[in-house]
Amino acid sequence: MSVPPAFLTLRNITKAFPGVVANDRVTLEMHAGEVHALLGENGAGKTTLMNILYGIYQPDAGEILVRGQPSRIRSPRDAIALGIGMVPQHFLLVRRHTVAENVALGLPGAGALFPVRKVSPRISELGERYGLVVDPNAHVWELSVSEQQRVEILKALLRGAQILVLDEPTSVLTPQEARGLFAVLRRMKEEGHAVIFITHKLDEVMEVADRVTVLRRGRVVGTVPIAQADVRTLARMMVGRDVEFRRSKSGLPSEEEALSIADLWARGDRGLVALKGVSFGVRRGEILGIAGVAGNGQRELVEVITGLRPATSGRVRALGRDVTNRSARAVHEAGVAHIPEERVRMGIVVGMSVGENLVLNRYRYPPFSRGPLLDQQAVARFAERMIAEYEIVTPGAHAPARHLSGGNIQRLILAREFSGSPGLIVAAHPTFGLDVSATEQIQTLLLRRGAEGAGVLLVSEDLEEVLALSDRIAVFFEGQVVGIVDAAGADRERIGLMMAGQAA
């Protein structure tokens, strides 16, 4: 029996963005019936590579072979025609449409009239075959995140995808839901599909992959069969050095309360109840981590505390003051710093200068203002100091914030928020998407502030980060605190069960 050509070959793929080489001569081979993990940190170039494979980006150099044939993939349409399917990290679903409408969109076999009627039975049929059960008539916005993921997989399968790319598929799932997904992937493998599984989580690679390719800074570090791999080697390949799994914490929390939440209720954007009687407290000098799958009320909690969303009932006390339903400005004046979840959308104004961004919420106080006037010189002086102190890489205070990289944007936000010596820091996903050095710097800054006596509320989807930084961990599920555990000696499996709503 002759060896069939590889299902898919990427050869010397190179792609540069202004200032960044995202992929540097990447070579990768995929076979049918294989789950191939693509492992790498944020910023390693995994998503760029997959966007090239799916026709979203065009490579600057290199070639793609599908079943041995050189192929040019100019658009997703080409990718689909070649049997490539994609489940992106941020789902591409039309939220207002039904599952069937989403699946029927652009589907060649759906026919011109009544596409939904033709597609619905096929959704049910495929759903049973692969264990992807979902109601074709439900609207997407009604579905849970893991159900939405199933819709994305169904979309690809219905288009005859032989190669399925999943981009960080477990980042939005509980460990238990992730296990369900792995069962689906094994089922697909048995049916002869090839699966590319993008992740930065080592244990998942060990659990589900047949082979793993490690990317670092845009380059392939190596490809190894899983039988010959272990977590520590993979970690070293991924990061480029030995990894410290625990960070040392110092300082003991004081008895003084920084934040206290009592029976807090609030609604989400769609008017549904998102917080259902949440109660907990954070002391000064303590880091309280919030663990939970995204969309279980963490965002709403942060917004209610920081004055961006009204509470329907309950109390929020920060630093001894009642700040329930006070304005964002009042909360800030009480001494609360806020590191927002979406740093580009909310944390900075890209069209304004670095200096002006550094005083975004302090411009109205001396020394930056005198009466109705703004003292631009005071702003510039302050900015130069902050740029030096926080090592923000920028041409200067007058440069537009547009040119800052992700890590520098976050340094700017931290400089601004910490400069007011806050007694409480609300940090939402502070290291999401940052590279190793920026992540370390920001984690160190948070730890230091905690040690210096500020209370820190840390919300993160990254359970490792929560475990590494927190003193205590509160687990959220469906708008409620399932339980609060000490981080020291916390059992990850138990936290995982709590994230799925099972009280410990």
Q: Which of residues 80-109 bind other proteins (CB under 8 A)?
A: 80, 86, 88, 90, 92-97, 101-102, 104-107
Q: 89: closest CA among 9, 170, 31, 12?
A: 170
**Choices 64-72, 368-376, 383-391, 469-477; region in contact with other proteins by CB under 8 A:** 368-376
What minimum distance in Å lies between the beta carbon of 327 and other proteins? 6
CA distances, 450 to each of 212, 282, 424, 487 (Å): 38, 11, 9, 15
Q: Which is nearer to other proteins, 104 or 473 (CB)?
A: 104
Single residue of 175, 285, 307, 479 touching other proteins by CB under 8 A: 307
Cis check: omega of the bond before 367, within 30 degrees of 0 = yes
Give the footprint of other proteins on residues 442-501 (CB under 8 A): none
> Are 122 and 110 contacting, i.e. CB atoms less than 8 angstroms apart?
no
* CA 51 to chain CA centroid, nearest Å: 17
**47 makes contact with other proteins (CB under 8 A):** yes
Instruction: Report the distance separating Cα 322 and Cα 413, nearest Å.
Output: 25
Single residue of 203, 433, 492, 503 touching other proteins by CB under 8 A: 433
**22 makes contact with other proteins (CB under 8 A):** yes
What minimum distance in Å lies between the beta carbon of 21 and other proteins? 4
3-state secondary structure of 294: coil
What minimum distance in Å lies between the beta carbon of 48 and other proteins? 7
Single residue of 177, 204, 356, 465 touching other proteins by CB under 8 A: 356
Q: For the window 399-418, what string marks contact with other proteins as x by the rule CB under 8 A?
A: -x-xx-xxxxxx--------
Single residue of 7, 26, 35, 46 touching other proteins by CB under 8 A: 46
Say which DSSP state 325 is in: T
Give the footprint of other proteins on residues 205-224 (CB under 8 A): 217-218
**188 makes contact with other proteins (CB under 8 A):** no
Q: Which is nearer to other proteins, 211 or 343 (CB)?
A: 343
Single residue of 6, 44, 166, 336 touching other proteins by CB under 8 A: 44
**249 makes contact with other proteins (CB under 8 A):** no
Give the footprint of other proteins on residues 334-353 (CB under 8 A): 338, 340-352
What minimum distance in Å lies between the beta carbon of 366 and other proteins? 12
Q: 383: closest CA among 369, 372, 371, 394?
A: 394
One-character DSSP codes across 420-481: T--SEEEEESTTTT--HHHHHHHHHHHHHHHHTT-EEEEE-S-HHHHHHH-SEEEEEETTEE
Number of residues that bind other proteins (CB under 8 A): 101
**Choices 260-268, 278-286, 369-377, 482-490; region in contact with other proteins by CB under 8 A:** 369-377
**21 makes contact with other proteins (CB under 8 A):** yes
* CA 322 to chain CA centroid, nearest Å: 32
Q: Which is nearer to other proteins, 220 or 226 (CB)?
A: 220
**155 makes contact with other proteins (CB under 8 A):** yes
Q: 39: closest CA among 279, 205, 241?
A: 205
CB atoms within 10 A of CB 65: 16
Output the six-digit token pair for 270: 């769609």
**114 makes contact with other proteins (CB under 8 A):** yes
**Choices 20-28, 182-190, 454-462, 469-477; region in contact with other proteins by CB under 8 A:** 20-28
**115 makes contact with other proteins (CB under 8 A):** yes
Q: 418: closest CA among 320, 501, 500, 338?
A: 338
Q: Which is nearer to other proteins, 88 or 285 (CB)?
A: 88
What minimum distance in Å lies between the beta carbon of 445 and other proteins? 16
**14 makes contact with other proteins (CB under 8 A):** yes
Single residue of 145, 206, 294, 360 touching other proteins by CB under 8 A: 360
Angle at alpha carbon of residue 137, lines to 131 and 139, rounded to 5°:
100
**Choices 19-27, 258-266, 274-282, 494-502; region in contact with other proteins by CB under 8 A:** 19-27
Single residue of 129, 232, 247, 329 touching other proteins by CB under 8 A: 329
> What are residue 152's DSSP bridge partners?
none
One-character DSSP codes across 204-264: HHHHH-SEEEEEETTEEEEEEEGGG--HHHHHHHHHSS---S-----S---SSEEEEEEEE
Say which DSSP state 502 is in: -
**243 makes contact with other proteins (CB under 8 A):** no
> Are 413 and 445 contacting, i.e. CB atoms less than 8 angstroms apart?
no
**75 makes contact with other proteins (CB under 8 A):** yes
What minimum distance in Å lies between the beta carbon of 498 and other proteins? 26
> Are 439 and 431 contacting, i.e. CB atoms less than 8 angstroms apart?
yes
**252 makes contact with other proteins (CB under 8 A):** no
What minimum distance in Å lies between the beta carbon of 264 and other proteins? 20
The residue type of 268 is: G
> Are 280 and 481 contacting, i.e. CB atoms less than 8 angstroms apart?
yes
Instruction: Report the distance separating Cα 288 and Cα 291, nearest Å.
Output: 10
**317 makes contact with other proteins (CB under 8 A):** no
297 Cβ contact partners less than 8 Å away, ≥ 6 residues apart: 268, 274, 275, 276, 278, 476, 478, 479, 480
**363 makes contact with other proteins (CB under 8 A):** yes
Q: Which is nearer to other proteins, 162 or 480 (CB)?
A: 162
